[in-house]
Amino acid sequence: MSSTSPIQIENTTFLIERLAQDCSPLQYVRELTQNAFEAIQARRVNGFIGTGYVQWDIDWPLAQEYRIYKLQISDSGKGMSGPEIEQYINRLSSSSGVQSFEQNFGIGAKITAGVENPVGLVYKSWQDGSGIMAQFWKDIDADRYGLKQFQIGDDFGHYRPIPDTLKPQVGPSQPVPIDKFGTTVTLLGRFNDDNTYFRPGLKQKWLIEYLNSRYFELPDEVIVQVRDFNNADPSMWPTSPRVPMGPGGSQMRTIVGMKELLAKNSENQGSLKLSKATAHWWILPANLNVGGGVWNDRSHVATLFQSELYDIQRSQAARSTLQTFGIIYGGSRIVLYIEPDSTQLNVYSNTSRSKLLVAGNDLPWDVWASEFRSNMPTAIKQMMDQILADVDTGDYDDVVKRRLREIRDLYQIQRYRRTPEGSLLTDGEIPGGISGETDAERSRKVSAGSRPNRGGSQSDLYGAFITEDGAPAERSRQQNNLPVIQFISLISGTREVGVLEDRAAKYIPEMNIIQVNEDFRVFVTMTDVLRGQYPHAEPVEVKRSIQQCLTLQLTEVVLGIQSLQGSPEWSDRTKLEAALSEEALTAAVMPRYAVFSQMKRQLGGRAGASSQASSLGTDLDLDDDLLATDSGIV
pLDDT digit string, tens, across residues 279-306: 999 999 988 877 677 888 889 999 999 9
Q: Residue 630 above 50 pLDDT?
A: no
Q: Residue 163 above 60 pLDDT?
A: yes
Question: How many angstroms separate the CA atoms of 111 and 210, rounded?
Answer: 19
Averaged pLDDT, 194-212:
94
Averaged pLDDT, 429-445:
40
Q: What was the pLDDT predicted at 592? A: 75
Q: Looking at 72-86, 199-213, 487-501, 526-540, which range is the least confident one?
A: 526-540
What pLDDT band is residue 353 in, cutting at 50, 70 and 90? confident
Q: What was the pLDDT predicted at 41? A: 95
Q: What was the pLDDT predicted at 461? A: 32
Give the Cβ contact number of residue 622 at 10 Å.
12
Q: Residue 198 above 80 pLDDT?
A: yes
Question: How many angstroms separate the CA atoms of 517 and 501, rounded?
Answer: 8
Mean of the per-residue pLDDT values of the chain: 82
φ, ψ at 427 (rounded to 5°): -140, -5
Question: How many angstroms separate the CA atoms of 235 and 475, rounded?
Answer: 78
Q: What was the pLDDT predicted at 464? A: 41
Q: Residue 362 above 80 pLDDT?
A: yes
Averaged pLDDT, 198-214:
93
Rg (CA), the chain: 32
How distant, in Å, are the alpha carbons of 66, 130, 226, 245, 305 from that of 236?
15, 35, 18, 12, 40
Q: What was the pLDDT predicted at 593? A: 75
Q: Residue 507 above 50 pLDDT?
A: yes
Q: What was the pLDDT predicted at 459? A: 37
Residue ranges of domains in the chain, CATH in brackets:
12-256 (3.30.565.10), 260-388 (3.30.230), 414-442+456-477 (no CATH), 484-629 (no CATH)
Residue in 97, 110, 89 with CA at minimum distance from that of residue 351: 110
Q: Looking at 26-40, 469-483, 608-622, which range is the least confident one?
A: 608-622
Per-residue pLDDT tens digits for 27-63: 999 999 999 999 999 999 999 999 999 999 999 999 9
Does residue 214 contact residue 255 with C-beta atoms inside 8 Å? no
Residue in 112, 110, 230, 128 with CA at minimum distance from that of residue 178: 128
